[in-house]
Amino acid sequence: MTLQLAQRPLTAFLDGEDSPDIPNPIHSTAVAAQYGFRAALVGGVTVYGWLTPVILEVLGERWLTDGWADVRFRKPVYPGDALTARCEASADGAVRVAMVNAEGVACIEGEAGSGTAAWAPGFHSPTRRTAEARPAELPHLTMETAPAGKDLRPMLVPWSLDDARAWALEKQRDGPERWTAESALVHPGWIAARMTPLLHHSFDYGPSIHTRSQIQHLAPAPAGQAFTVAGHFIQAYEEKGHQYAELDGVLLAEGGKELARMRHTTIFRIRPPRDA
């Protein structure tokens, strides 16, 4: 570790178009308002990516290829929010991360570390790993159609060096050469963001809210190649009127090497507001 505490102030921004026609319209003002939110929700994985600089200050470069993070999304982040990204090593050896708003409330909180996470052995490794094209029509994801215990359709994701640079500079506003040079790595925020498109590669579903990400980095992930994302649907369940999906995924290099493993929990059917 290079520091015991790293902090970074920033102002939240919407990293895409504010339109109800985007793939997840909860990130639009119009649809978010229908569910009782005061503005468009900034994407959870985007906000997680904003923690990357402070995690690297505390854990160092090793974290990118042999490190992990486990973050829970507690409160909405809205465009214009004043935030502070925090990463702190504690006396018990844990490294705690948080994205704190102007009221001192943690919108995201969790842990990070080097090496293998304690939860990593419970990962469900998909056997279906060859990319398949998305069909013209997809089934709608419901509690009844959720494929518990089954693999999802693997997805090919070509990602050029220009794509990687744009993601780091525009969505993350994070410009070090590790993300922009000819030998650039893909950004950790991009890796975490692969799970929602993966689920949409097998199912159609409406506005959703990401609630937790667990990421285990395994090897360098250089930009400029066609990655494959494969996954396994663990379970669907209902809690407090929300319907959740939990799935595991793996990011594969062109040759099939595992670069990262991710566990993703999302509300795929949001409970309607009481006054709806």
147/235 Cα distance (integer angstroms): 8
Inside any domain, residue 126: no
* Residue ranges making up the domain that contains 235: 5-115+151-269
Inside any domain, residue 236: yes
102/240 Cα distance (integer angstroms): 28
Q: Show pLDDT as tens, one digit a residue, over the chain (276 residues).
A: 467 999 999 999 998 899 999 999 999 999 999 999 999 999 999 999 999 999 999 999 999 999 999 999 999 999 999 999 999 998 777 799 999 999 999 999 999 999 999 999 999 999 999 999 999 999 999 999 999 999 999 999 999 999 999 999 999 999 899 999 999 999 999 999 999 999 999 999 999 999 999 999 999 999 999 999 999 999 999 999 999 999 999 999 999 999 999 999 999 999 988 765
* Per-residue confidence (pLDDT) for residue 114, from 0 to 100: 94
104: left (phi over 0), alpha (psi -120 to 50) or beta: left
* Per-residue confidence (pLDDT) for residue 2, from 0 to 100: 60
Inside any domain, residue 122: no
Q: What is the CATH number of the domain that holds 264?
A: 3.10.129.10
Inside any domain, residue 94: yes
Residue of 241, 228, 246, 229 lying closest to 147 (CA atoms): 246
* Per-residue confidence (pLDDT) for residue 106, from 0 to 100: 98
* Per-residue confidence (pLDDT) for residue 92, from 0 to 100: 73
Inside any domain, residue 87: yes
Q: Which helix (H) or strand (E) holds 83?
A: strand 82-89
Inside any domain, residue 166: yes
Inside any domain, residue 157: yes
* Per-residue confidence (pLDDT) for residue 275, from 0 to 100: 62
How many domains, in total, are found in the chain?
1
Do residues 243 and 178 make contact, with C-beta atoms less than 8 angstroms apart?
A: no
Which amino acid does the sequence have at 239?
E
Which amino acid does the sequence have at 220?
P
Inside any domain, residue 200: yes
